Structures are given as C-alpha cells and as structure tokens.
Chain A
Amino acid sequence: MPEETPLPAPLPPDAAPQLPPVPAGGVTVTAWSPGEDVIEVQRTPAPGPARGTWRTFRETARGLATTFGRMLEKPVTIEYPEEKTPVYPRFRGRHKLHRFEDTGLEKCVGCSLCAAACPADCIRVVAAENTPEHRVSAGERYAAVYEINLSRCIFCGYCEVACPFDAITMGHDYELSDYDRTDLIFTKEMLLAEPLERTPLRNEGE
C-alpha cells in the first residue's frame, strides 16, 4: 500500500484570488505588432469561367487516371487468417519461459523481479526451494507457481529486462484471443511449452 500524500489544506472561504493591482490610469491595450514575421501570401488570380471549367475538367480527368492506376496494381491486402502479417524480430508478443538446453533445467529461479518490474501487475510468482531429489531450476529456488495474466499484460517487455537469467522473453505470438478471461491466465507449463510456429518472421530489410 503506497503512502498517501496529504491533501492541501482547504482555502478559507473568504480568501479572494490574488490579482495584480490595476494602475490608476486604467489599462491601455496596444495592438500586437507581428514585426518581421509577416508572410505575404501570393495568390494566382481566380480563373475565369472558361479557364475554370477547363481546370475542373482536367483535374477530374487526372483524378480518374490516378484511381484507374490503382486498379491495375496488386491489392495490398493481407488476407489474415490464411496469411499472417510477418513480425519484426524484436516484436513483443506472448511471453516464453526458457530452459537450459544442456541440462533441461528451468532458467527461472523464482526471484520475482519480473513481477516487481511489471507495471500492470500481471505476473504472479510463488517460489519454492530446490531439493537434491526434486531439482527444477539451476539456482537455489525455483518458481512453483508462475502465472501471467495476459488479459492485463501491456506487452511492455519490462519483465524481460528485469530478469537476471534471461528466463523470460517476449515471443512472437500475437493471436491471443479467447472466449474466457480465465483462459488468458497462462501458467508456467503453458509458457514453457514450445509455442506453435504460426507467426511468420519478417525478412532482413523488409
């Protein structure tokens, strides 16, 4: 619970707002001179009826040519469900938790720094001690519970920055809609699982 800042003391009811004193001779208002900043706009004379008609006709024809040119081009549409927008390598999508490739142990040691860094307060970590019989992570402790509420997450990536072991990174998956809010609370198992390869990556220089 953050400490509340005390409200400023209320003004006394008869306190008038402080105005600068009016001089005895009254206030004289002088016109503001724009000085050197004036730009004279030069306009061409208005076209006569014949020239105006011709100009309208010409500009209409030019507009028609422009739109016709668009029709000859290939549409820029990306037909979404079949064809997906490729993402950049640093795109911040759904989070991933990682394991060490050689030992298969989880990188996360349950330090809760990600939860502390999270501005949306959507990460919940409950740490537990590793024992020789039950060793989950490489460190002293491991995350017994690791949950990210993706309906709250703002995808800022601060968790990734805060993590001292690179255990959590932002993935590329952006298809996160669901029918139930509770289904958007991703557990450790879901975050550790290999994501479905369904997001195309943008090529170099694209």
Chain B
Amino acid sequence: MIATVGYYEEWWIQVLKAIVIFAVGLQLVPVVVLAERKLLGRFQARYGPNRIGPYGALQPLADILKLLTKEQFRPSTSVGFLFALAPLISIVTAVAAFAIIPFGNVQNIFGTPVGLYGVDVSIGPLYLFAFGAIAFYGIMLGGWSSGSKYSFLGAMRGAAQLISYEVAQGLALVGVIMTAQTLSLTGIVEAQKGMWFIVPQLFGFLIFLTASFAETNRAPFDLTEADAELVGGYNTEYGGGRFASYYFAEYLNVLVVSGIVTTVFLGGWLLPFGIHPPGWVDPFVVLFKMSLFTFLFIWVRATLPRLRYDQLMSFGWKVLLPLATLNALVTAVLVVVTH
C-alpha cells in the first residue's frame, strides 16, 4: 500500500468525474492562452488579439486550427520515437497533476456523495512532485531527441533548473504540511478554517511561488525557452500538433500551480469572514482564486526580464534553498512548542 485515499466513490462516478475535470481543465487552457495574450497587450499599452470573433475571443481556436493543420515534420538527426513521445509525457503529467486539485469537499449531488476533486490521495504534495519530476522527462527527451544544439541546450538548462527549484518548492511546502499535520490536499484546506496558511506561512508562500515560476518555465525563469538566445529552447524543432501539445502543457502547468497555491496557501474553497456559501459555489471560489494567480503569472511575465543562467542557479541554491530550509526549521520548532 503506497497511499490511501480519503474518500472513494463508485467506479462510474470516478469515470464521470475524470471526464468532467479533464473537460474543464481543457476548456480553461484556451481561456488562459487568450488572457495571457490580451493582458500582455494591455501591459504594453496595446490591444492584443482583437480580430477573430468578438474582442478576439476565438483567437485560441484559430491558433489551434492553424497548428493542427500543419505538417508533422522532424529533423533528420532526431530520434523519431522519443521525438513523438516527449510532448505526450509533458501533457500527460500536466493533466495528471490537475487531478488532485480539490475544487470542493464531498458534496451531495442528487443523493450521491461526490468529492469535487479527481482523487484525494493521502500523499497530495508528493504526488504533485512525482509528476513534476516526470514532466522534466518531457522537456529533456524532447530537447535531446530533436538532434539540435538549441534544443539540447534548452533541455539541459531545463534539467538543472527543475532539479534545483523542486527542492526549494518541496521544502516550502514542508512548513504547511507540518502545520496542517496532513498530506491530503482536502485535509490541508480543512486545516485552514481558522486562518489561511498565507498568513503564518508567508515566507513559505513567497518561496513556493518563486520556485513555481521556475517549475513551470515561465518568465523570468524561462531559460529553457529563452527565445532570444536559443530560438525556442527545447521545442525549437517542434511544430504543428506536437508544438501545440507542449504549449498546452505549459499553460495547464500554470493552472496546476495556481490551483496548488490556492489550495495550500489561500484556503482552497474557503471564504474569509466566516461566509459559508452553498456547496456548489466552492468550485467557483477555487477558480476565482486560481485566476488571481494566473493573472500574477502573466503580470510577472510582462514585468521581469529573463535571468542569466548563473543568476538562476545561484538564486535557487544560495537564496531559495536556505530560506526554504530555514522556514521549515522555524515552523518545525514552532509546531513542537505550541502542541
């Protein structure tokens, strides 16, 4: 037995839930893509896409159609099997990580108790980091099997970066886990009934957020892509549907990280000031909090320039890691003293 599950429904509810969550996650990605392009435009005092559909709302559809009708090509130096497999790994891990974000606790839907999450594993954050570690293979294999120097450099950077920042990210969560005394994400949300963890774990929150930017390869840590120096980084040689997969995975990862931050630090579906709305509001509360973080991701991308590689490394190992360790230590002492 590796992990126990908090609440377990009938198999057909599980299947239905999986479809619903996958469908919702899938629909959120084009929204985030469009939001990013529109907001980046606004941050730069221009409109962003506004030609296709009302206010450019159909732009992601046009993008996807364009990408999917492109020829599937690969360089003659590439390793065909891995070249095709790598984007799949990226997308599968992103979708799998999305499964553990709780949008609400167990609700009565037509007399059937259903948990508003894919699965409530008792190892929530570990599950997340496991898939985060596998997601790195998507980038690494994609970059290596392309048989191109830019892809390879991007992939190597991605490897080093993901390993460095995953440590800090994990340690930042340790404080929360010790305070909540549970690894279940619904349990962590329930533990925030009195006070959201963003208040007692402010440093943990900041460290986790910073490391998350690096984990999702977003600006200012987008050295794996680094279009100014590496053309497109690990996905230089990709086009068409495979590029679309990478693109999709990137934005789904942004959503996943937003969801995790919401769950772990911002009280998930809980509302402040003791407001208790009916259960069907919970998913919308979570989606609203997630959209706040997605906005922050876009905002930061519009603001901060890309770090230099040595800055990235020294920041990860010399600043974030000691701070995260300190945070975990102090929390541990406080937890022991107060209990």
Contacts and interface: CB of A to CB of B under 8 A. Distances in A.
Contact of B45 (A53, A68, A76, A79): A76
B153 to A, nearest CB: 27
Contacts of A79: 47, 50
Contacts of A73: 45
Interface of chain B: mostly helix, strand, loop or mixed: helix
Contact of B299 (A64, A74, A75, A77): A64
B44 A63 contact: no
Interface string A109-126: 000000000000000000
B24 interface: no
Nearest to B206: A57
A75 B47 contact: yes
A76 B41 CA distance: 11
Contact of A76 (B39, B46, B302, B303): B46
Size class of the contact patch on chain A:
10 to 19
Contact of A67 (B43, B46, B47, B50): B43
Contact of B304 (A60, A74, A77): A60
Given A60-B304, A63-B304, A64-B303, A70 B42 contact: yes
Interface residues of B, number: 15
Contacts of A68: 43, 299
A70 B319 contact: no
Nearest to A65: B303
Nearest to A66: B303
A7 B125 CA distance: 81
Contacts of B319: 53
A71 interface: yes
A75 B303 contact: no
A9 B177 CA distance: 89
Nearest to B48: A75
B52 to A, nearest CB: 14
Contacts of A60: 303-304
Contact of B43 (A53, A70, A76): A70
A53 B319 CA distance: 9
B300 interface: yes
Interface of B: 39, 41-47, 50, 299-300, 302-304, 319
In the A-B complex, the 8 residue pairs with the smallest Cβ-Cβ separation, listed nearest first, are A71-B42, A67-B303, A63-B303, A77-B46, A67-B43, A75-B46, A67-B302, A75-B47
8 contacts: A53-B319, A64-B300, A66-B303, A67-B43, A71-B42, A73-B45, A74-B45, A77-B47
Interface of A: 53, 60, 63-64, 66-68, 70-71, 73-77, 79
